[in-house]
Structure 1
Amino acid sequence: MVLASATLLAPCANAVAQAGYPSRTVRLIVGFAAGTGPDIVARVLAQKLSENWSGTAVIVDNKPGAGGLIAASEAARATPDGYTLMLGETGQLSIAPSSYNRLPYDPAKDFVPVSQVVSSDFVLLVNPQKTPARNVPDFVEWARRQNRLVMGTFGAGTPGHFGAHLFADAAKLVSEPVHYRTTSDALGGVFAGDVHAVFASVGLAAPNVKAGKLAALGTTGGSRTSLPGVPTMKEQGYPSLEFTSWFGIVAPAKTPADILAKLSQDVVKAVQSPDSRARLEEAGFRVTGSSRDTFARIIAEDKETWGKAVAATGFKAD
């Protein structure tokens, strides 16, 4: 009879736990530096979650480096109680399993999806003071005359890395990647003329493009972005160059199901609120706010898609 009573009380205990969550500060780990696209997403989301949670603090903890692997490794080891979350992205969760021999975490086993919150197209950027091209076909012809194409990336094994390979392959160019620690560092390489071009998220690129510091040649999505004057790769004769990145909230594996359910509901509500949506769209993102099941499917499908790109490069990192 005592055992039966305990069993009956368990669902009630879970409901109480969910109702009381969160009762203290929540840490949101981001694998990229302050001021980058992922950081913008995290801070918009953290602010709205805090408001909706009656002022409970949500602290953004930037852990840049290694294309997000440092952050993912730390988040995977966190206590699975809902108080440490990660803003995960395509490279960490869908590309890394194919591109690393010894990954310090297993995306499928160490994390559980909460919600995909935004997606982002990439834009091909050049330094207008050093590269005369203002569209993709002209840039390809210019690169051929240089006898090589040096592409900056925001880390080996990232979407920017394999996106650069896809571009070079489609344009029939010989490409040399230069891997930087962060997206800001990669942009610095373009500014300095150390690399010819870089793929960056529209959100990160937009301020530099609007200020005239960088020239945007083409975007990688299926339609135009918040940089409406910039045509897509498809529009410029490269239909195969359609690829995007996404960001979403994940939690350490074994986080209680009731906490995950509340988190998913609250994250979707936060990201789809009118003010959050406006801020994120202004920064160049497409707001989604998916269910847990939908996000899990996206991670799995992109693992297969990007795995083919990784295999084509022969890239493997330790």
Structure 2
Amino acid sequence: MQPTRRLALAATLGACALAPFAAPAQQAYPSKPVRIIVGFPAGTGPDIVARLLAQKLSEGWGNLGVIVDNKPGAAGLIAASEAARAAPDGYTLMLGETGQLSIAPSSYNKLPYDPARDFVPVSQVVTADFILLVNPQKVPAKDAREFVDWTRQHKNLFMATFGAGTPGHFGAFMFGDAIGIRPEAVHYKSTGDAMTGLFGGDVQGVFASAGLAAPNVKSGKLVALASTGAERTPILPEVPTFKEQGYGSLVFNSWFGIVAPARTPADVVAKLNADIVRALRSPDGRKKLEEAGFSVTGTSPQAFADIIAADTRTWGKAVAATGFKAD
């Protein structure tokens, strides 16, 4: 055999011998179903947002499958703890909210996760204004000022919340500071329980998301006194803001956004971000979220990280003012 042919044969045999040990080609992300953990029950605002987003992502990924996994309890801390421990491969995500990521670090003595260390922001998805609601059968007020006058006459103010450490909880204290009355926060396990308390007269008011408030206001069951947005919310345009009524300090909202476990590969985060923003820009996806009472955003990972950090400082001051600390 000629030397040239012997060299060629040796090279071929060498390649064949090494082939079984070659690293397998990485599959394009995503190649299997993706799970989105939600820290609140089915039918709540976070659940609605997660399911609409999951549907649009699934369609964009060839109906691969995006599963919404509800893990309610402890104002979202159970879900956040599980998501923080998940494999950083992009197949477990969390729809995080203001309470879990920006309020919890200041309001809990021992937090089972660190929002800044254990998660990488992917994209903010929506924001939601709050509406101050009262039961007209129990509280004869038509706007914020009438409610303030009524509470001063009755001395005690009991405000329902959807859980300790949530924006509605500290929003109630911010309201109390603005009017010079310290409210008593009554924490309920779910939105349904809190609304039952309001209907039954166990509490005088509640800060509910615009989407939750709208059906009850439009049916006449509850009265909307003011919204916490910088501008009137589109779903209840007839409701004036606190700012319009002379309470300029009461401008706050909540947000939901997708985060992934820390150390999720940068290319996976970039892919997720692009696909989430694309889903939010689709006309039908945006319309459904807006009809549910949300303002659609969609941000870069860095912009969402900046929002989380800024709100951590803002809500930290509100928490400190209340002196609240949970174990």
Please report the TM-score for the alignment, with normalisation by the length of structure 2. Answer: 0.91
Partner AA of 2:211 in structure 1: G
1:28 to partner: Cα distance: 0.7
Deviations 1:8-47 (Å, cap 9, x if unpaired)?
Answer: xxxxx99x64x62111111111111111111111111000
- How many Å separate the matches in 2 of 1:159 and 1:232? 17
Contact 2:173 2:182 in 1 (8 A): no
Rg larger for: 2
Deviations 1:133-191 (Å, cap 9, x if unpaired)?
Answer: 11100011111111110001111111011000000110111310001112222122111
Contact 1:87 1:248 in 2 (8 A): yes
Structure 2 residues not aligned, in runs of 5+: 1-22
The reply on whether 1:245 has 2:254 as its aligned counterpart is yes
1:228 to partner: Cα distance: 0.5
- How many Å separate the matches in 1 of 2:117 and 2:291? 35
1:33-48 to 2 correspondences below 5 Å = 33-48=41-56
Tell me what 1:257 maps to.
266
Tell me what 1:3 maps to.
none
**Count of aligned residue pairs for this structure pair:** 304
1:155-304 to 2 correspondences below 5 Å = 155-225=163-233, 226-304=235-313
SS of the residue 2:43 aligns to: coil
Deviations 1:58-116 (Å, cap 9, x if unpaired)?
Answer: 11111112111111111111111111110001110001001111001000011000000
SS of the residue 1:155 aligns to: coil
Deviations 1:195-246 (Å, cap 9, x if unpaired)?
Answer: 1111011011111211222211100010001201100000111000000111
Contact 2:38 2:94 in 1 (8 A): yes
- How many Å separate the matches in 2 of 1:97 and 1:275? 36
RMSD over aligned Cα, in angstroms? 1.3
Identity in percent: 71
Partner AA of 2:31 in structure 1: S
2:71 maps to which of 48, 63, 74? 63
1:193 to partner: Cα distance: 1.3
2:121 maps to which of 113, 124, 129? 113
Structure 1 residues not aligned, in runs of 5+: 1-12
Partner AA of 1:221 in structure 2: G
Partner AA of 1:206 in structure 2: A
Please report the TM-score for the alignment, with normalisation by the length of structure 1. Answer: 0.93
Tell me what 2:89 maps to.
81
